[in-house]
Structure 1
Amino acid sequence: MIDSKQITAMILAGGQGSRMGGRDKGLVELGGRPMIRHVITALAPQAGTLIVNANRNLADYQALGYPVIRDELDGFQGPLAGILAALDVIHTPYLLCAPCDAPGLPLDLGRRLGAALQDQQGELAVVHDGENLQPAFALIPVALRHDLQEYLLRGERKLRSWCKAHRLALADYSDQPQAFANINNAAELRRFEDKGDQPIP
């Protein structure tokens, strides 16, 4: 069993928020708190260390009390750039990733991904919600750092394609697919609050 102390959790908050009108999604308020706070509450207990990947509003993210790392690649190159930046600096053998716009994050994400990785002897583990692959929710061994660097140097940027190029272990979340709903725009934010799908307090 992979112990939580072997895991560094990283919240991906480095995007441009283009579908949110350019707003920094991690800092958009949900239930009176920045959205990323809800993700931190769920994710921090699942790992020995937590870091945040952000490329703007760095002071606001640093004020949350966790280390903030920027992409090494310029120009908002997508989540893989943030993952590579993390793999370059962490001191644990595993990186647990989750996006900042998924406030319903499961409390057993790290445990289920770790069990899938070991039981299925995968190269990395990702969530499957019963219908779709959810590659932004992943447990990635640091041993894949060089492979990811080579992928990005070739000009590739797609997270799903990189994941599928490896032997994937799948953590089955068909019992709670709604946990991976992400908030991409103002309308989805309103729907989330109106339905009472409030995240963990």
Structure 2
Amino acid sequence: MIAPQELTGMILAGGEGRRMGGRDKGLEPFAGLPLVAHVAKRFDGQVAELLINANRNQEAYELFAARIIEDAEGGFKGPLMGIYSGLRAANTPWLLVAPCDTPALPNDLVARMTAGMGDHDIGVAFDGERLHPVVALLRTSLAADLAATLAMGERKIDRWYARHAWCKVDMSDCPEAFANLNTEEEKLRLEYALAKAAKEAR
């Protein structure tokens, strides 16, 4: 098992939010809190340090993490650049990443990801049908290899993962937890569904 002191958490919030009209998705309100706050709760007390990868509104994000890190290169180069920036910034052997727009992630995400790794270098959440490549646990020693990959112009996460010893981490019992919000409509729909489920659970 990977102990909390060996693990850095990072929330990816560095995108352009194009499908939300260019708004900063992580700061969009959801059930009374910014989206990023819901994701940050999944790491609370379970990692040595929580980072947020953000390329704008850094002061707003400082409320939710120990450190805010920008992409190592400007120009919104995609999530693989965000992951590289986290691997480079982490002070632990492992980095667990999750996107800012997945507010329904399982509360035991950290425990499940670390338990599902085996001897692999990368673990990727799998909901039974689809992989979720930006919900992943990675050895930070992969930073140099990823730097070289990015320098060659590669931006596809799955192609870089395929070069390493990676595994699926089974999350097939909760596929709905990985709903990511790209539009205002998706946000409102999930907000309603979660509020309804919470009411029924009372």
The residue aligned with 1:185 is 183
What residue number does 1:14 align with?
A: 14
Contact 1:46 1:109 in 2 (8 A): no
1:133 is matched with which residue? 131
Of all paired residues, the percent bearing the same amino acid is 43
- CA spacing shift, 1:182–1:199, aligned 2, 3 Å: farther
Tell me how many residue pairs correspond in the alignment.
Answer: 198
Task: Write the mapping of 1:20-99 to structure 2, written as runs, cut at 5 A.
Answer: 20-99=20-99
- Which letter maps to 1:141? R
- Paired with 1:65 and 1:199, the residues of 2 have a C-alpha distance of 28
1:148 alignment counterpart? 146
Q: TM-score normalised to the size of structure 1?
A: 0.93
Q: Contact between 2:50 and 2:65, CA under 8 Å: does it hold in 1?
A: no
Using a 3 Å threshold, how does the CA distance of structure 1 residues 8 and 193 change in structure 2: closer, same or farther?
A: same
- How far apart are 1:190 and its partner, in Å? 1.1
C-alpha separation in 2, matches of 1:90 and 1:196 = 33
| Gap runs ≥5 in structure 1 | none
In structure 2, stretches of 5+ residues that fail to align are: none
1:155-201 per-position Cα deviation (integer Å, ceiling 9, x unaligned) = 0111122122222121101100111111111010111122235899x
Runs of 4+ in 1 over 4 A off after TM superposition: 197-200
TM, length-normalised to structure 2: 0.92
The answer for the alignment partner of 2:103 in structure 1 is 103
Note the C-alpha offset of 1:65: 4.8
- Aligned residues of 1:38 and 1:199 also touching (Cα < 8 A): no
On the 8 A contact 2:54/2:68 being kept in 1, the answer is yes
